[in-house]
């Protein structure tokens, strides 16, 4: 059975003193299986953190449903219950901000155990287990957060998240505040922990290189809508949505300045989440746009294979069995799209 199912999630943030709202999520549907990693990727403002916060009960959605282990989560009724807090844990970007600077790290690691009815002895056993899993000596855990490097603190935050043996951990940009060495260590740790504990991860990240190492499946968000979701290998090797193509290609370009330029070249004007156009939110930036794209948000293609592509153009073309190779055409158009923003003197 699917561990977590998010159905048609909508979140509109009111703007104080105005009648309009920020449309952060506009009908997000995704699922996470037991023990797998689903990565949420997309540009800044696409709604990744808002999905994560809704799943851990830190933000009440405007509408939609979140079903965890077969039971609907209700913000009013059960999402903040001790049982669910133990089963769904989270790790945020800034390790230093999630620790009390005046308390030993150890106390913070043990804090979620208060959601569980276990004896003092068992708490001690759990702590020792977790310290071993995160490879942190007790003496280090007894120090204050300010004595630990960001990498060590993030390890402690991961220890705190797994101490209740959760089924799901939401990781929101857990490596982006770290230097490359610490980042690699955290990625390695997360992979090892998942192998041992079979915990599922909802991994939120801008960093597609890290995403590539950790993901079983990837969900691409843009302006609060799912563009494409499918197996990681599929998304990296053969993405189908023009937006995924641009995003994935940007990470494959070798030159750092090209990488940045590639991401920027996806733009045109990004619509405001306050005044979203009807239809596909990418329409104003998409090289494949057709008039129908501005009228409706396309239903998904290939749902039976676990691969969904919300692109009307692609959907129509997929139904025509003959014709030129679709991927080649998308690729060609994407290349053109990527080139748009590049200065002429950059190496191609
Ligand atoms: N509390 C809030 N009040 C108003 N608008 C908000 C609030 N939180 C988020 N938003 C808006 O919702 C949209 C989605 O934000 P969110 O933080 O989920 O995106 P994100 O993809 O995680 O971005 P980033 O990668 O920069 O963290 C953005 O337009 C953001 O400005």
pLDDT (average), residues 215-241: 89
Query: What single DSSP character describes residue 30?
Result: E
Q: Of all atoms in ligand 1, which is nearest to the CA of residue 224?
A: 14
Per-residue pLDDT band for 191 (boundaries 50, 70, 90) equals very high
Report yes or no on whether pTM surpasses 0.95: no
pLDDT digits (tens, 9 = 90+) for 136-172: 999 999 999 999 999 999 999 999 999 999 999 999 9
Question: In terms of pLDDT, which residue wins out, 312 or 91?
Answer: 91
Q: How many angstroms separate the CA atoms of 53 and 74, rounded?
A: 14
Q: How far is the CA of 49 from the centre of ligand 1 (A)?
A: 7
Residue 134 has pLDDT above 50, yes or no: yes
Q: How far is the CA of 51 from the centre of ligand 1 (A)?
A: 10
Q: Of all atoms in ligand 1, which is nearest to the CA of residue 47?
A: 18
Q: How far is the CA of 48 from the centre of ligand 1 (A)?
A: 8
Return the percent helix, strand and coil in the chain, to nearest 5: 45, 20, 40
Q: How many angstroms separate the CA atoms of 135 and 193, rounded?
A: 11
Q: What is the ipTM of this complex?
A: 0.98
Nearest to 92 by CA among 38, 152, 170, 172: 172
Residue 202 has pLDDT above 80, yes or no: yes
Best of 10, 14, 46, 222 for a ligand 1 pocket test (most atoms within 8 Å of beta carbon):
46
Question: In terms of pLDDT, which residue wins out, 121 or 263?
Answer: 121
Q: How many angstroms separate the CA atoms of 133 and 248, rounded?
A: 33
Per-residue pLDDT band for 250 (boundaries 50, 70, 90) equals low
Q: What is the mean pLDDT of the chain?
A: 82
Which residues form the pocket of ligand 1, taking CB atoms under 6 Å from any ligand atom? 13, 22, 24, 42, 44-50, 206, 273
């Amino acid at each position: 059975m699917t561990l977590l199912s998010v159905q048609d999630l909508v979140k509109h943030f009111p703007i104080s003193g105005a009648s309009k709202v920020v449309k952060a999520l506009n009908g997000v549907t995704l699922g996470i299986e037991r023990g797998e990693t689903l990565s949420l990727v997309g540009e800044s403002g696409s709604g990744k953190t808002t999905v994560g916060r809704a799943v851990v009960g830190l933000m009440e959605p405007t509408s939609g449903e979140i079903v965890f282990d077969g039971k609907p989560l209700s913000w009013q009724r059960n999402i903040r219950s001790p049982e669910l807090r133990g089963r769904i844990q989270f790790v945020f970007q800034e390790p230093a901000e999630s620790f009390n600077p005046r308390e030993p790290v150890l106390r913070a690691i043990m804090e979620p155990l208060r959601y569980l009815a276990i004896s003092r002895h068992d708490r001690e056993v759990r702590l020792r287990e977790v310290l071993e899993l995160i490879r942190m000596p007790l003496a280090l855990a007894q120090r204050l957060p300010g004595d630990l490097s960001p990498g060590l603190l993030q390890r402690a935050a991961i220890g705190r998240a797994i101490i209740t043996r959760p089924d799901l951990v939401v990781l929101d940009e857990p490596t982006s505040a770290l230097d490359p060495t610490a980042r690699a260590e955290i990625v390695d740790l997360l992979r090892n922990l998942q192998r041992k504990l079979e915990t599922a991860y909802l991994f939120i990240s801008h960093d597609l290189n890290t995403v590539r190492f950790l993901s079983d499946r990837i969900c691409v968000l843009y302006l609060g809508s799912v563009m494409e979701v499918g197996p990681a290998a599929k998304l990296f090797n053969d993405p189908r949505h023009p937006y995924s193509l641009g995003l994935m290609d940007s990470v494959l370009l070798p030159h750092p300045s090209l990488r940045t330029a590639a991401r920027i070249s996806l733009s045109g004007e990004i619509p405001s989440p306050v005044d979203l156009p009807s239809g596909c939110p990418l329409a104003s930036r998409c090289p494949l746009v057709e008039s129908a794209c501005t009228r409706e948000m396309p239903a998904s293609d290939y749902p039976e294979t676990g691969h969904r592509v919300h692109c009307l153009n692609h959907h129509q073309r997929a139904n025509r069995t003959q014709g030129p190779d679709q991927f080649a055409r998308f690729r060609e158009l994407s290349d053109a799209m990527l080139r748009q923003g590049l200065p002429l003197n950059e190496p191609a």
